[in-house]
């Protein structure tokens, strides 16, 4: 009797991974303003329930109340506080029996000014929020993302961890040493866990925006008022959010968003000494 051959489309490796918002459950950290707010609203509009995390209760309430009840679930608190992470994970258990489809590690802070003049606490604060919190939230979420991966036969949707990095996690610049260090750490760690989680069917996406017109520069830590950020061009947060959701839907490994950002990163790959000379403080 002739053996039936598997069709190409039935081979798992042949299927392109896709993430789908409708019917999904997501966590977005830093949902009260800027990129995270726009991500939360867009996901909610596409039929995804979102657990939104941030410290400012009134700002989070404004986001929650702008969409139908039960669509956006607020968790108020600091991402560096493990009890806040626990509260978000217990929402995942209550809402979806422990199945999570998307974690967006977006909450982030910045600092500007020379490294030598800064209080050492500045480096710790930036690393805690931009890097260590991301690793903690991902560690807590992985079992729930695995549950979603296991349920793929019923609902074809690849679970995703999306980390919001920065162009400055690809090429460092002066006067942002702490921020660059945190985003380089995030970049390296993201590449590593992407390879680790591939076999579990979890996609890991790194999105690297350039300057974005958000509240980011109003909440710099350990930064004197005279310090400003130099940049050429900027994107509005809704454009960054749209590009991020496109990258998540296609389970892309990495996206650099702006042409300016791409130019900086690719020029640096071609000639790091040239970019060092261009960026050196006179
Ligand atoms: N803006 C840019 O030029 C730019 C460029 C490249 C990459 N990025 C990255 O994009 C991400 C979002 O930044 P954004 O531009 O949208 O800035 P933003 O408007 O300042 O938003 C930052 C969000 O993170 C939250 N957050 C900050 N620290 C937190 C903490 N300890 N615990 C909980 N939530 C915290 C803030 O909420 P609460 O204050 O209410 O807690 C806010 O919702 C960050 O990771 C940033 O590094 C920004």
Q: What is the per-residue pLDDT for 226? A: 78
Question: Quick one: CA dihedral 222, 226, 231, 237, positive or negative?
Answer: positive
pLDDT the model gives residue 13: 52
Residues labelled as active-site residues: 179
**Mean pLDDT for the chain?**
93
Task: Record the tokens describing residue 164, joined without a space.
Answer: 């919001």
- The mean pLDDT value for 263-278 works out to 94
With beta carbons less than 8 A apart as the criterion, state whether 236 and 212 touch: yes
Index of the ligand 1 atom closest to the CA of residue 183:
47
pLDDT 10s digits, 221-242? 999 887 877 777 899 999 999 9
Average pLDDT over residues 236-257: 97
Beta bridge partners, 161, equal: 103, 204
For the ranges 10-19, 43-52, 195-204, which has the lowest average pLDDT? 10-19
Q: What is the pLDDT of residues 146-156, one digit of tens each?
A: 999 999 877 88
Counting from 1 in the atom list of ligand 1, the atom nearest the Cα of 32 is 43
Ligand 1 center from residue 107 Cα (angstroms): 4
* pLDDT confidence of residue 43: 98
Paired strand residues for 203: 160
Could you read off the pLDDT of 70-97 as tens digits, one per residue? 999 999 999 999 999 999 999 999 999 9
d(CA 73, CA 233): 34
- Please give the domain boundaries of the chain with CATH numbers for all domains: 17-279 (3.40.50.720)
SS3 assignment, position 204: strand
Query: What is the DSSP code (8-state) at residue 281?
Result: -
Mutate to test the pocket of ligand 1, among 29, 34, 208 (most ligand atoms within 8 A of CB): 34
* Ligand 1 geometric centre to CA of 11 (Å): 40
Asked whether the predicted pLDDT for residue 40 surpasses 60, the reply is yes
The average pLDDT across 250-265 equals 96
Antiparallel, parallel or unpaired: β 72-76 and 102-105: unpaired
Report pLDDT digits (tens) over 12-22: 555 689 999 99
pLDDT above 70 coverage of the chain, percent:
95
- Structure-block tokens of residue 78: 């600091």
pLDDT of residue 231: 73
Ligand 1 center to 23 CA (angstroms): 26
Summarize the confidence of residues 192-197 as an average pLDDT.
Answer: 98
Return the structure tokens found at 181. Answer: 């260090």
């Amino acid at each position: 009797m002739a053996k039936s051959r598997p069709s190409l489309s039935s081979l798992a490796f042949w299927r392109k991974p896709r993430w789908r918002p409708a019917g999904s459950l997501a966590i977005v950290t830093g949902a009260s303003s800027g990129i995270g707010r726009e991500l939360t609203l867009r996901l909610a509009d596409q039929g995804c329930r979102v657990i939104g995390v941030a410290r400012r209760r009134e700002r989070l309430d404004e986001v929650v109340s702008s969409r139908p009840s039960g669509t956006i679930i607020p968790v108020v608190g600091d991402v560096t506080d493990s009890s806040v992470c626990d509260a978000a994970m217990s929402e995942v258990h209550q809402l979806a029996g422990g199945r999570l489809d998307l974690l967006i590690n977006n909450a982030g802070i910045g600092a500007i000014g020379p490294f030598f003049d800064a209080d050492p606490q500045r480096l710790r604060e930036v690393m805690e929020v931009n890097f260590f919190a991301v690793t903690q939230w991902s560690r807590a979420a992985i079992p729930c993302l695995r549950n979603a991966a296991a349920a793929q036969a019923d609902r074809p949707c690849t679970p995703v961890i999306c980390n919001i990095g920065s162009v400055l996690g690809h090429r460092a610049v002066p006067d942002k040493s702490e921020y660059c260090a945190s985003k380089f750490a995030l970049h390296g760690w993201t590449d590593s866990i992407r390879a680790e989680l591939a076999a579990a069917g979890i996609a890991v996406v790194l999105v690297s925006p350039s300057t974005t017109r958000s509240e980011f520069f109003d909440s710099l830590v350990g930064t004197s008022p005279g310090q400003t950020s130099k940049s050429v061009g900027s994107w509005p947060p809704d454009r960054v959010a749209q590009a991020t959701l496109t990258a998540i839907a296609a389970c892309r490994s990495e996206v650099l968003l702006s042409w300016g950002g791409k130019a900086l990163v690719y020029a640096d790959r071609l000639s790091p000494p040239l970019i060092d000379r261009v960026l050196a403080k006179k």
